Amino acid sequence: MRARQLVWIRRISQTFFLLFFLFLLVESRLPRDVFVDYSVVFSAEPDLAIDYPVGFFFQLDPLVWLSSLISGHQLIKGFWWALVLLAVTLFMGRIFCGFVCPLGTLHHAVSWFRPSLKADAMIRANEKASSQKIKYFLLITVLVGAVLGLNMAGLMDPLSVFFRSLALALFPGAAMGLREFSEVIANSDSTALRLLSYGGEVIAQFLFGFGYKAYTTAWFIGIIFLGIVFLNRIRPRFWCRVLCPLGALLGICSRLSILRLEKDRAKCTDCELCAKSCQGAASPKPGNDWENAECLMCFNCFDSCPASALFFRFRWSSLRLNRGPDMGRRALLAGLVGGISLPLFGRLDGRVHKVADPRLIRPPGALPEKDFLTLCQRCGLCMKACPTNVINPTLTEAGMAGFWTPHLIMTQGYCEYTCTLCGDVCPTGAIRVFSAKEKIETPIVIGSAYIDRGRCLPWSGNGPCIVCEEHCPTSPKAIFFHKDMVPGPNGKQQMAQLPHVDLRKCVGCGICEFKCPVKGRPAIRVISAGESRSLENQILL
Amino acid sequence: MNFDDSITRRETLKRLITISGVVGFYGASGIPFTAFSPAQAKAAPRRFIIEGIGQTEGYSIKELATRVFDAAGGMKHFVSKGDVVAIKPNISWARQPALAATTNPVVLEAVIELCYEAGAKKVRIVDNTINDVRRCFAITGAGTVAKKTNADLVFPSSSLMRRMKINGDRLDVWPVFTPLIEADKLINLPIAKTHSLSSLTLGIKNWIGGVGGRRYALHQDIHRTIVDLAQFFKPTVTLIDGISILVKNGPSGGSPSDVAMKNTLILSDDPVAADAFAARLFGYSPDKIGFISLGDKSGLGTKEFLKLDQKKVIV
């Protein structure tokens, strides 16, 4: 096959997978037209679901498969996609990086479009550097850490990084901008502008879903993402060659690859065009040893060589091992140190073994904290899918070990009583699949509510209010009233309906906290105590 | 959207009328704009209340709804050709129809079909739900009804909320869900349920689902604010769904044991009378329910439903 054709096939493949990734990301939400026929609904508790396999890219990701296998001893659903990818890698090297990876495609495009470096500088930048060992260090840290029960893969895994950044920062940011702009021009006198505003609203709703979304630490996720993209100005595909642990894993697996770059030293004119176009710094130039573990299989060198001194070929005959990945002893040692220390340090805050953070309310179906941390990829899929926007990435609530894992902020949303989406979409089963029936009948408890009597309107003598009781979804309600006299504003005793929480019935859904008219710090709040996933974090006998 | 740029109801009407080119007619006829409201424009001098009861085993709810409207002179009496009709059911909760926390979808379907038969151009299902609106539409059956009957589902969004002059005793300006205001005809289609603060939630309390903003603060003066909102919205007609009612654990219910079958529909052009009548389903005296007494006192309607043109339909 000619080089030109190969490059075009690569481009088409990259575009396809990037669009597919974006499509699944957009569809990671409850669709609008998910209607249940009520003749059916009369008889069964319906579970609304997302139509598309939105976790596909995480099933395809060998790092997700491997880390959850080592750490949580679980084979995630659809893991055989990852095995297929590994098998392909064994034969064809890091073809995933060059043809499939959506984040890699973004880096590729950014690096290719108006490169920051001029010819000579670019050739020097594309020489193999020792910084490329960092990715092996990160991979070893992740895998060793996984052995010790902390899954950090998602912090650096390119698919998690990309999904999290788009779903929690870039998309909500763009949606906010579009919505605010629409609302400004909605009041205009010009019909054209008002139509534009309506169009903006339609696009915003289609792409980004309803209303304004908010995610704590989203600014941080967004800035990190912009930083990662900016790194392409320093070296093309900086992330892929220096930082990506998935790239490192695939690089190691490419040792057996039979698709090899063949070099013809005799034909080479030393024009260095191959080095200039090599985004992986894999030493394509004849005379140097090809670094197959670094090669992103983009076929740029093959395409750029004017003298036909380079070509890719399947070599079936010899089963000789390729050059091993150049990770060096230091990366290995540092990886071991990092991988051993981080999971242990991460548990030193006592949140796993001593006392749970009251604000760390995990989604329903979340595994016990220790198991949860062995599986959660921090990808943000549950946060994106949650219809009420209650699931947010943690900052400090789950300690260092649980940075960016999901937790529920009840002032921002609440857990819908019969909703099961977070369990449906979780790619690794850190939030297990559960049905609405199970959620209600077991019941799955995520926390418990308590009343702040100093703030509560009836308790503090500031007038009647029953909003928490009204919204309480359990039957019978977990919030009940006791009528009693309380001193009013003038000191006179007055009769009031005073809300109380029945801890035996409360499931911690948080709708009471969300709807409480006392804004800022609601008068009824939910803490994690009582969550059914924990044996220790309990209140009642 | 700029919420401080409030528009009064009168201004909205003026705008609508100006657009439709009938301002001259009203100007000439000497009817002041303040007197213009769908209910008053259509209602006969004597108001009516119709009770429909399904007594035979396996009766058709649709037939019951049709017969109830027929007793009032047919849907044509309320909906004219080319009208845009907004229906305000109570589908606040993402609950199955069997749990009676939301308007019965069969009743909703029947009313929409009647509207279309009467020549409505478009029927819209409008409710600012409490639970996530997609889940509410999906699980209560309203979404399926909309698909079957070709009605529009209106999804609440901030751009559809507009601060308007309520001119109530307690509420002055409040964000209103505009599709309810912009329709030619407005049908209130609540379900009868218990409520721990207002005793019951029936017809006029349903208008809390027609506003946005800090609406959970309305509970601090619930009866007064309900009446304020009911005076603002003024539906063409109210049909209270009493097919199955929520007798305890209201207004959200959650268990079949909270539900009682009453097989009743109550239709009236007097919102207070409809509520007073429906209170009897629970065995409550209308006088004991704050918003009914208050609605009676403030001239919204009468709780003395016996004085109305009363009819009974049995299927």
Whether the predicted pLDDT of B254 surpasses 90: no
- Candidates B233, B10, B131, B231; CA nearest to A390 is B131
Chain A CA closest to residue B146:
A35
**What is the number of other CB atoms lying within 10 angstroms of the CB of residue B248?**
15
Long-range Cβ pairs for the range B244-249 (8 Å, 24+): B244/B98, B244/B100, B244/B104, B245/B100, B245/B191, B245/B192, B245/B193, B245/B281, B245/B282, B246/B99, B246/B100, B246/B101, B246/B191, B246/B192, B246/B193, B246/B194, B247/B194, B247/B282, B248/A476, B248/B194, B249/A475, B249/A476, B249/A477, B249/B194
Query: Distance (Å) from the C-alpha of residue B5 to the closest C-alpha of chain A?
Result: 9
The pLDDT of residue B197: 87
Residue range A57-67: average pLDDT? 95
Who contacts A205 (Cβ-Cβ below 8 Å, separation ≥6)? B155, B157
Instruction: Give strand pairing partners of B267.
Output: B50, B239
Q: Is A465 on the interface with B (CB under 8 A)?
A: yes
Look up tokens 């039979």; give the residue.
A258
Is the pLDDT higher at A128 or at A43?
A: A128
Whether the predicted pLDDT of A334 surpasses 90: yes
- Mutation test of the interface with chain A: which of B1, B140, B243, choosing the one with the most A Cβ atoms within 10 A? B1
Chain A CA closest to residue B131:
A416
In terms of residues, how long is chain B? 315
Q: Tell me: the pLDDT tens digits for A222-276?
A: 999 999 999 999 999 999 999 999 999 999 998 888 888 888 888 898 888 999 9
Whether the predicted pLDDT of B107 surpasses 70: yes
pLDDT band at A364 (very low <50, low <70, confident <90, very high): very high
The pLDDT of residue A190: 80
Report residue A133: phi and psi, to 5°: -75, -15
The pLDDT of residue A1: 61
Residue range B21-49: average pLDDT? 49
The pLDDT of residue B190: 96
In terms of residues, how long is chain A? 541
Identify whether the C-beta of residue A431 lies closer than 8 Å to the C-beta of residue A361.
Answer: no
pLDDT band at B41 (very low <50, low <70, confident <90, very high): very low
Amino acid at A316: W
Taking CB atoms and an 8 Å limit, are B143 and A183 in contact across chains?
Answer: no
Taking CB atoms and an 8 Å limit, are A36 and B139 in contact across chains?
Answer: yes
Query: Distance (Å) from the C-alpha of residue A283 to the closest C-alpha of chain B?
Result: 54
Whether the predicted pLDDT of B17 surpasses 60: no
Percent of chain A past pLDDT 70, that is, above it, reads 97
Q: Who among A34, A457, A470 is closest to B220 (CB)?
A: A457
Q: What is the DSSP string of A434-451?
A: --HHHHHHTT----EEEE
The pLDDT of residue B102: 94
Q: What is the mean pLDDT of chain B?
A: 85
The pLDDT of residue A320: 67
Query: Distance (Å) from the C-alpha of residue B310 to the closest C-alpha of chain A?
Result: 33
- Bin A500: left if φ > 0, else alpha if -120 < ψ < 50, else beta: beta
Q: Which of residues 483-512 of A touch B (CB under 8 A)?
A: 497
**What is the number of other CB atoms lying within 10 angstroms of the CB of residue A388?**
19
Strands A493-501 and A479-487: antiparallel
Task: Pick the range with the lowest mean pLDDT from A97-101, B41-45, B58-62, B254-258.
Answer: B41-45
The pLDDT of residue A386: 94
Q: How many CB pairs under 8 A join A and B?
A: 143
The pLDDT of residue A42: 57
Tell me the C-alpha distance between B277 and B306, whole Å: 9
Residue range B90-104: average pLDDT? 92
The pLDDT of residue B114: 95
Q: Who among B97, B132, B195 is closest to A387 (CB)?
A: B132
Whether the predicted pLDDT of B28 surpasses 60: no
Whether the predicted pLDDT of B2 surpasses 60: no
Strands B237-246 and B161-165: unpaired
Residue range B106-123: average pLDDT? 95
Task: Pick the range with the lowest mean pLDDT from A9-13, A177-181, A357-361.
Answer: A177-181
Q: Token pair for residue A328? A: 């060096």
The pLDDT of residue A37: 73
- Candidates B272, B269, B242; CA nearest to B75 is B269
Look up tokens 């929480």; give the residue.
A501
Taking CB atoms and an 8 Å limit, are A472 and B252 in contact across chains?
Answer: yes
Report residue A507: phi and psi, to 5°: -105, 0
pLDDT band at B26 (very low <50, low <70, confident <90, very high): very low
Taking CB atoms and an 8 Å limit, are B2 and A187 in contact across chains?
Answer: yes
Q: Tell me: the pLDDT tens digits for B234-245?
A: 899 999 999 999
Query: Distance (Å) from the C-alpha of residue B270 to the closest C-alpha of chain A?
Result: 27
Tell me the C-alpha distance between B309 and A341, whole Å: 82
Residue range B161-174: average pLDDT? 89
Whether the predicted pLDDT of B25 surpasses 80: no
- Candidates A160, A225, A174; CA nearest to A404 is A160
Long-range Cβ pairs for the range A85-91 (8 Å, 24+): A85/A60, A85/A61, A86/A62, A86/A253, A89/A62, A89/A250, A89/A253, A89/A254, A89/A257, A90/A253, A90/A254, A90/A256, A90/A257, A91/A256, A91/A257, A91/A258, A91/A259
Identify whether the C-beta of residue A374 lies closer than 8 Å to the C-beta of residue A148.
Answer: no
Q: Who among A212, A463, A481 is closest to B220 (CB)?
A: A463
Look up tokens 């013809």; give the residue.
A264
The pLDDT of residue A194: 77
CA angle B283, B289, B294 (to 5 degrees): 145
Chain A CA closest to residue B4:
A187
Contact list, B253 vs chain A (CB under 8 Å)? 475
Residue range B34-39: average pLDDT? 44
Task: Pick the range with the lowest mean pLDDT from A25-29, A180-184, A265-269.
Answer: A180-184
Tell me the C-alpha distance between A51 and A27, whole Å: 8
- Candidates A151, A160, A141; CA nearest to A101 is A160
Q: Tell me: the pLDDT tens digits for A282-307?
A: 989 888 888 889 999 999 999 999 98
Residue range A358-379: average pLDDT? 94
Q: How far is CA A432 from the centre of its chain?
A: 16
CA angle B1, B4, B7 (to 5 degrees): 90
Backbone Cα Rg of chain B: 18
Identify whether the C-beta of residue B274 lies closer than 8 Å to the C-beta of residue B202.
Answer: yes
**What is the number of other CB atoms lying within 10 angstroms of the CB of residue A360?**
23
The pLDDT of residue A107: 95
pLDDT band at A35 (very low <50, low <70, confident <90, very high): confident
The pLDDT of residue B23: 37
- Mutation test of the interface with chain A: which of B130, B139, B221, B244, choosing the one with the most A Cβ atoms within 10 A? B139
Q: What dihedral angle (degrees, nearest 10) is formed by the CA atoms of A473, A474, A475, A476?
A: -110
The pLDDT of residue A527: 96
Q: What is the DSSP string of chain B?
A: --TTS-EEHHHHHHHHHHHHT-HHHHHHHT--GGG--HHHHH--SS-EEEEEE--STT--HHHHHHHHHHHTT-GGGT--TT-EEEEEE---S---GGGTSS--HHHHHHHHHHHHHTT-SEEEEE---SS-HHHHHHHHSHHHHHHHHTPEEEPP-GGGEEEEE---SS-SEEEEETHHHHSSEEEEE-EEEEETTTEEE-SGGGGGGGB-SSGGGGGGGHHHHHHHHHHHH--SEEEEEEEEEE-SSTTT--SGGGEEEEEEEEEES-HHHHHHHHHGGGT--GGGSHHHHHHHHTTS--S-GGGSEEEEEE-
Task: Pick the range with the lowest mean pLDDT from A100-104, A194-198, A450-454, A534-538.
Answer: A194-198
The pLDDT of residue A465: 92
Whether the predicted pLDDT of A197 surpasses 50: yes
Identify whether the C-beta of residue B268 lies closer than 8 Å to the C-beta of residue B262.
Answer: no
Q: Which of residues 387-416 of A touch B (CB under 8 A)?
A: 387-388, 416
Look up tokens 């590729």; give the residue.
A108
Tell me the C-alpha distance between A200 and A186, whole Å: 10
Q: Who among B97, B157, B249 is closest to A38 (CB)?
A: B97
